[in-house]
Amino acid sequence: MYWYDYFLYMLPAYLLVLIVRISLNATISKYSNVGSKLSGFASANLVLRSAGINDVAICQIKGNLTDNYDPSSNMISLSDPVFGKNSIAAVGIAAHEAGHAIQYYENYGPAKLRQAAVKICNIGSSLAIPLIFLGAILSFEALQIAGIVCFMLVVAFQLITLPVEFNASKRAVKILSASGELTAEEIKGVKRVLTAAAMTYVGALAVSAMQLLYYVARIRRR
């Protein structure tokens, strides 16, 4: 009965995530086939240089959509389909990661807060579900409450992540638009790629928020 109730409660959130994932894959696929004179590497480099940043390394890594900026190493890692690819999708993804680098360079508050909260969030993520389930099995409400508090940290982290992601895209688009390297139609394509990518974070937050509400509702029914 527990899993049946859980499935029905979470179904709308999971459907949202599925729709978002399908939309992202379709958007990336479409704009990976739309050419650009800029490669992913050139796009990230352009955004960084335009912001006056010259000490961020840009490297190539394996995988698909594994692109990231690591503030601890001050390095942008671009996946194989992005690094050397001359496409609108590659330009958008790479520029977005460069946008993250600019956030740290300019001490953007939410980005710093998210970075500081990573370790706490990881602890909360690893403890939340075990505590909630162990508390339910043992009928020990204090354990369940502890698990819910840990899960709240996860939701809070995802909530902080949203403005960080949207802001990085906004910075990237602004610089790309001002550079004159892309046409208005190409900029529109970049925006669509970045919006589709950002919606994955919205979907993840929706799932976590619904899970949190479900756990709270269950403990209140006891």
Domain locations in the chain as residue ranges: 2-221
**In degrees, to the nearest 5, what angle opens at C-alpha 200 toward C-alphas 199 and 202?**
60
Stated pTM of the model = 0.91
Annotated active-site residue in 97, 141, 165, 186: 97
pLDDT confidence tier of residue 10, bands split at 50, 70 and 90: confident
* DSSP element (H, E) containing 170: helix 141-179
State yes or no: is 97 an active-site residue.
yes
pLDDT confidence tier of residue 6, bands split at 50, 70 and 90: confident
Sign of the alpha-carbon dihedral angle for 72, 75, 81, 86: positive
pLDDT confidence tier of residue 148, bands split at 50, 70 and 90: very high
Percent of residues, the chain, with pLDDT higher than 90: 81
Chain segment 174-209, per-residue pLDDT in tens:
999 999 999 999 999 999 999 999 999 999 999 999
Given this model, what pLDDT does residue 1 score? 46
Q: 44 CB contacts (<8 Å, ≥6 apart)?
A: 58, 76, 78, 94, 95, 97, 98
Percent of residues, the chain, with pLDDT higher than 70: 97
Provide the 8-state DSSP code for 38. S
pLDDT confidence tier of residue 217, bands split at 50, 70 and 90: confident
HSE (side-chain half, CA atoms, 13 Å) at 96: 26
Q: 36 CB contacts (<8 Å, ≥6 apart)?
A: 43, 86, 87, 88, 90, 91, 182, 186
Contact 92, 196 (CB under 8 A): no
Q: How far apart are CA 86 and CA 172, in angstroms?
A: 17
